[in-house]
């Protein structure tokens, strides 16, 4: 085979479909986020405002987090130097796991190098623990859950997104004695819509299923102490396994599950994605623990975040922009064509210094390509004004549809 020609072919497919992804090289400056420098391919640079980051609360530059990381580096050095089983478990990892178990009101938690790995490793291991397990997975679950369910060799059923009737139908069609698990997200990050958590838990009870929730786009941001939507809705005790990230609202890196002591012990003992990889750097664990602890006591930041999102949505709606509004912090503006989305994103960046990466297939279904804005408490009203004015002028310039989509 001509391997190079084959690679060219595969890449050309992406180019012709308008979904070839390019990196935008940015240099964040501590204390100045969401403002950053864009290092352009031609060697010049431009000041930009980041509007598509997942450092939702600006914790990536919070002094409490940075101080904890500096202290840990000075005290302990850089890497952990081992897997969790072989010299890579430190006081920092233990402290963070205790912090997370407490956050979610669970007996234990288990750290992974990312929430992607936490989902993949846990969901691919569960059938080893529960032979014959059937996993019921929401059609819009994140790629990491899909991979975990796909690789596990067990049975799976995909229910239509948030469709309780379909989920019930699938549960009812299976052997009542088979072990079952329902896997879903609390907030779907591309549309910003919420799962009907309570109704899913009711179905799980009725059919004897375990529940698995991905709260990656909710931890730090929802609930009295930032434990997510299940905390806000007083449902944490009804979820068997909660998955979260330390890389988005907590501003650092890493992922985890929180569950019963026995569940964590079994995953710890059987999941290759936990066992055979170096543990998080201690300073990362220290920064994440500081962030989680800080956000437990900082409802103001969560409130400011929600207010910012409401303001941005209101202003874009006021201009007739086709935004999706499910009452969460995510602000998607529908474009519906990958080439147009890319073009709009390029123009925002080059002409207005506004960075919003286009969101294309396979992240979202074809025909629903969009710009996805992530307002944060560190965006100023001047930043918001500039974004709204830029969108207004681009929409007019490109003669785009101003019809409104409602939730």
Closest to 48 measured CA to CA, from 63, 37, 59: 37
CB 154 within 8 A of CB 130: no
DSSP alpha helices (H): ranges in 130-196? 143-151, 164-173
Instruction: Give the relative orientation of helices 282-296 and 63-76 as an angle to the nearest 10 degrees.
Output: 150
> Residue 139 Cβ, how far from ligand PLP at the closest point, in Å?
14
CA angle 267, 245, 193 (to 5 degrees): 110
Binding window for ligand PLP (CB under 6 A); candidates: 77-85, 111-119, 194-202, 303-311: 111-119
Q: How far is the CB of 45 from ligand PLP (least distance, A)?
A: 27
Residue 226 corresponds to which tokens in the numbers above? 């930032």
- From residue 295, alpha-carbon distances to 66, 169, 225, 284 in Å are 14, 40, 7, 16
In the complex, the smallest distance separating the C-beta of residue 142 from ligand PLP, rounded to whole angstroms, is 3
Residues in contact with 264: Cβ distance below 8 Å, sequence separation at least 6, in sequence order: 107, 108, 109, 110, 257, 258
Say whether 106 is catalytic.
no
Instruction: Please state, as a whole number, how many other Cβ atoms lie within 10 Å of the Cβ of residue 88.
Output: 18
Characterise 150 by phi-psi region: left (phi > 0), alpha (psi -120 to 50), beta (else).
Answer: alpha
Catalytic residue among 156, 180, 248, 313: 248
Residues 303/110, Cβ–Cβ less than 8 Å:
no
User: Shortest approach of ligand PLP to residue 246 CB, angstroms?
Assistant: 7
Residues paired with 291 in a beta bridge: none
Terminal Cα-to-Cα distance of the chain (whole angstroms): 50
Q: What residues contact 307, with CB distance under 8 A and at least 6 apart?
A: none
Least Å distance between CB 41 and ligand PLP?
Answer: 26
The residue from 125, 137, 144, 152 that contacts ligand PLP (CB under 6 A) is 144
- Compose the 244-283 pattern: x for residues touching ligand PLP by CB under 6 A, - for all others: -x-x-------x----------------------------
Residue among 48, 96, 100, 115 that touches ligand PLP (CB under 6 A) = 115
Cα dist. 16→204, 233, 332, 363, 365 in Å? 44, 45, 24, 17, 17
Residue 274, SS3 per DSSP: helix
- Residue 214 makes contact with ligand PLP by CB under 6 A: yes
Count helices and strands in the chain by DSSP H and E runs: 14, 16
Q: Given candidates 216, 288, 292, 312, which one binds ligand PLP under the rule CB under 6 A?
A: 216
Classify burial at 183, counting beta carbons within 10 Å of its beta carbon; exposed 0-12, middle 13-18, buried 19 or more: buried
Q: Is 342 in the site for ligand PLP (CB under 6 A)?
A: no
Does residue 124 interact with ligand PLP by CB under 6 A? no
Of the pair 80, 144, the CB lying nearest ligand PLP is at 144
> Of 30-38, 114-122, 175-183, 307-315, which part binds ligand PLP (CB under 6 A)?
114-122
| Candidate segments 60-68, 127-135, 159-167, 211-219, binder of ligand PLP by CB under 6 A | 211-219
Tell me if 116 contacts ligand PLP by CB under 6 A.
Answer: yes
Binding residue count for ligand PLP, defined by CB under 6 A: 14
CA angle, 123 then 126 then 132, to 5°: 120
* Closer residue to ligand PLP, CB minimum distance, 243 or 395: 243
Does the protein bind ligand PLP through residue 114 (CB under 6 A)?
yes
Q: Specify the stretch interacting with ligand PLP by CB under 6 A; choose among 113-121, 203-211, 327-335, 371-379.
A: 113-121
User: Does 287 contact ligand PLP by CB under 6 A?
Assistant: no
Which one of the spans 36-44, 170-178, 213-221, 340-348 is the region binding ligand PLP (CB under 6 A)? 213-221
Chosen residue from 93, 106, 142, 379 binding ligand PLP by CB under 6 A? 142
As measured in angstroms, the least distance from the Cβ of 288 to ligand PLP is 11
For residue 119, state whether it binds ligand PLP (rule: CB under 6 A): yes
Task: Find out whether 116 and 244 touch, Cβ atoms under 8 Å.
Answer: no
**Residue 189 engages ligand PLP in binding (rule: CB under 6 A):** yes
Q: Which residues are catalytic?
A: 248
Which residues contact ligand PLP (rule: CB under 6 A)? 114-116, 119, 142, 144, 185, 189, 214, 216-217, 245, 247, 255
């Amino acid at each position: 085979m001509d391997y190079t020609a084959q690679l060219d072919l595969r890449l050309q497919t992406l180019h012709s479909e308008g979904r070839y992804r390019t990196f935008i090289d940015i240099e964040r400056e501590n204390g100045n986020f969401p403002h950053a420098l864009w290092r352009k391919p031609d060697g010049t640079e431009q000041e930009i405002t980041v509007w598509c980051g997942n450092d939702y609360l600006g914790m990536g530059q919070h002094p409490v987090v940075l101080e904890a990381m500096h202290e840990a580096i000075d005290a302990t050095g850089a890497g952990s130097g081992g897997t969790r089983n072989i010299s890579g478990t430190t006081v920092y990892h233990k402290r963070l796991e205790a912090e997370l178990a407490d956050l979610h009101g669970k007996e234990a938690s288990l750290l992974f190098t990312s929430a992607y790995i936490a989902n993949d490793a846990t969901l691919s291991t569960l059938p080893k623990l529960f032979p014959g397990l059937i996993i019921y997975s929401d059609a819009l679950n994140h790629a990491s859950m899909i991979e975990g369910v796909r690789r596990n060799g067990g049975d799976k059923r995909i229910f239509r997104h948030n469709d309780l009737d379909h989920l019930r139908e699938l549960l009812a069609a299976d052997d009542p004695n088979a072990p079952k698990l329902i896997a879903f997200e609390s907030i779907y990050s591309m549309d910003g819509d919420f799962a009907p958590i309570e109704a899913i838990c009711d179905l799980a009870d009725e059919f004897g299923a375990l529940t698995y929730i991905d709260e990656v786009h909710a931890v730090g941001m929802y609930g009295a102490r930032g434990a997510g939507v299940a905390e806000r809705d007083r449902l944490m005790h009804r979820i068997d396994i909660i998955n979260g990230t330390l890389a988005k609202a907590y501003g650092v890196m890493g992922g985890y599950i929180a569950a019963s002591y026995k569940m964590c012990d079994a995953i710890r003992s059987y999941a290759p994605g936990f066992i055979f990889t170096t543990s998080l750097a201690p300073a990362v664990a220290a920064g994440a623990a500081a962030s989680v602890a800080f956000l437990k006591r900082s409802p103001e930041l969560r409130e400011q975040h929600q207010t910012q999102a409401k303001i941005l949505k209101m202003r874009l709606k006021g201009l007739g922009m086709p935004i999706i509004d499910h009452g969460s912090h995510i602000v998607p503006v529908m474009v519906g064509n990958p080439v147009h989305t890319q073009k709009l994103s390029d123009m925002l960046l080059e002409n207005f210094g506004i960075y919003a990466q286009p969101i294309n297939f396979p992240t979202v279904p074809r025909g629903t390509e969009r710009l996805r804005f992530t307002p944060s408490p560190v965006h100023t009203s001047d930043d918001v004004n500039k974004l709204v004015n830029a969108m207004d002028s681009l929409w007019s310039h490109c003669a785009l549809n101003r019809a409104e989509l409602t939730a």
